[in-house]
């Protein structure tokens, strides 16, 4: 399919036979790795994101240490908002904190325009640096936050449990909601397309918080914008992954947005999720906390997922969300090796 030494991830995304089930992890380069902690000790997260040589270093180190089948660019979903003049801080243990949340049309109008080449050139340079360092060993995944997830941070001002402010705007200020989501969808589309042109081999849309919505609300307030983004990437010829957390109740509606792969968390059996989305590849879905347990538990849960897949082409093994900071790197590497060996034996 490609010039890559290991293209198992791309083959699975296209639902083609692969030598073994590919594995990668969200938050693959993170605080659980010593290689990342060494870099992080001298730099804050935004500095790493904005320094291509550092972003490339931690991205590639995770691949080297874990033996995964894809790299994911070290970046943060808030980078486009930061580039638009949103004053924010990435607080350890909390997440993004916005200084001036969006509450009215005048707040939205204060935001600057966005051009990937002009406003986040460091991301595109990081893509080039990672591709050079990987030297065609494994593919590179680019990503962006989805409009709803970005909007929720802009409106709430920080991570939320109930998204009350976000839903209040959806319900009571529909014109503002539509203006905000339309603008964010254009930004995300241009951002992902720029990453593709810079050389990424796949893209993932992180709609991390859309699981807080009912199917009706997702269909009305989110679906049109995600669909616009994924359709804008349809001619890019790279796999498009649509991922959310807590989305068991909206999977059928998420499928309507398009894309090539649906990413699911651990709250739904993976075979049931696949039945709901039909003719797409699927990614997931081990609970990240499982890796904090003893190996027999990790092995049992992994075997269950693989048994539910039943050898069907089109499965990318992943956690249901990001690697937890307390995770042992050795345990993560052991999981990668186990999935490879378990699925290679059946092929």
pLDDT of 91 strictly over 90: no
Specify whether the CB–CB gap between 185 and 125 falls below 8 A.
Answer: no
Indicate the helix (H) or strand (E) that contains 98. Answer: strand 95-98
Residue among 248, 242, 237 nearest 222 (CA): 242
Domain boundaries, given as residue ranges, for the chain? 8-344
167-176: Cβ within 8 A, 24+ apart? 167/217, 169/103, 170/217, 170/221, 175/105, 176/104, 176/105, 176/108
C-alpha pair distances (Å), 72 with each of 30, 101, 195, 200, 203: 11, 29, 12, 9, 9
Helix, strand or coil, per DSSP, at residue 108: helix
Q: What pLDDT is stored for residue 114 in this prediction?
A: 95
Task: Write b or e for each residue in 273-302: b if 16 or more Cβ atoms lie within 10 A of its Cβ, otherwise e.
Answer: bbebbeebbbbbbbbbebbeeeeeebeebb
Alpha helices in 113-222 (DSSP H): 116-119, 121-134, 147-156, 164-172, 174-198, 215-221
Q: What is the CATH number of domain 8-344?
A: 3.20.20.210
Specify whether the CB–CB gap between 141 and 71 falls below 8 A.
Answer: yes
pLDDT of 346 strictly over 70: no
Cα gap 160→162, rounded to integer Å: 6
pLDDT of 216 strictly over 80: yes
- The separation between the first and the last C-alpha atoms of the chain, rounded to the nearest angstrom, is 18
Rounded percentage of the chain residues whose pLDDT exceeds 70: 99
29-88 residue pLDDT tens:
999 999 999 999 999 999 999 999 999 999 999 999 999 999 999 999 999 999 999 999
Cα gap 340→169, rounded to integer Å: 46
Kindly report the pTM of this predicted structure.
0.96
Indicate the helix (H) or strand (E) that contains 263. Answer: strand 261-263
Average pLDDT, the chain: 95
pLDDT of 1 strictly over 60: no
- Beta strand pairing call for 240-244 and 140-145: unpaired
DSSP letter at 113?
A: P
Alpha helices in the chain (DSSP H): 8-13, 34-40, 45-49, 52-66, 79-83, 105-109, 116-119, 121-134, 147-156, 164-172, 174-198, 215-221, 223-232, 251-255, 270-277, 295-309, 329-344
pLDDT band at 2 (very low <50, low <70, confident <90, very high): low
Kindly calculate the radius of gyration of the chain based on its CA atoms and give it in whole angstroms.
19
The residues facing 239 across adjacent strands are none
The catalytic residues are 27, 31, 40, 76, 153
Residue 42 CB coordination number (10 Å): 9
Indicate the helix (H) or strand (E) that contains 286. Answer: strand 281-286
């Amino acid at each position: 399919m490609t010039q890559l030494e290991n293209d198992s991830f791309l083959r699975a995304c296209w639902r083609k036979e692969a030598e073994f089930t590919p594995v990668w992890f969200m938050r693959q380069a993170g605080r659980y790795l010593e290689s990342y902690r060494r870099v992080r000790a001298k730099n804050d997260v935004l500095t790493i994101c904005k320094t291509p040589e550092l972003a490339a270093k931690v991205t590639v180190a995770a691949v080297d240490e874990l033996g995964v089948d894809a790299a994911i660019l070290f970046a943060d979903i808030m980078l486009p908002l930061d580039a638009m003049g949103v004053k924010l801080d990435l607080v350890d243990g909390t997440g993004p904190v916005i200084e001036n949340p969006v509450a009215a049309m005048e707040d939205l109008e204060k935001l600057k325009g966005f051009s990937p080449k002009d406003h986040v050139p460091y991301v595109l340079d990081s893509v080039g640096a990672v591709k050079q360092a990987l030297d065609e060993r494994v593919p590179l995944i680019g990503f962006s936050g989805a409009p709803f997830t970005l909007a929720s941070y802009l409106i709430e001002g920080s991570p939320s449990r109930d998204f009350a402010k976000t839903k209040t705007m959806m319900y009571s200020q529909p014109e503002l909601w539509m203006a905000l989501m339309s603008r964010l969808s254009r930004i995300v589309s241009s951002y992902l397309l720029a990453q593709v042109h810079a050389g990424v081999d796949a893209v993932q849309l992180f709609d991390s918080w859309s699981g807080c919505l009912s199917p009706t609300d997702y269909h009305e307030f989110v679906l049109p914008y995600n669909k616009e983004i994924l359709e804008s990437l349809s001619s890019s010829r790279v796999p498009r992954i649509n991922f959310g957390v807590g989305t068991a109740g909206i999977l059928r509606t998420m499928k309507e947005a398009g894309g090539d792969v649906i990413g699911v968390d651990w709250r739904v059996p993976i075979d049931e999720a696949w039945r709901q989305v039909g003719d797409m590849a699927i990614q997931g879905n081990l609970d990240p906390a499982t890796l904090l347990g003893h190996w027999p538990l990790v092995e049992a849960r992994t075997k269950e997922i693989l048994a539910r897949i039943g050898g069907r082409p089109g499965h990318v093994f992943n956690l249901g969300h990001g690697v937890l900071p307390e995770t042992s790197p050795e345990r993560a590497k052991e999981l990668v090796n186990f999935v490879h060996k378990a699925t290679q034996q059946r092929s």
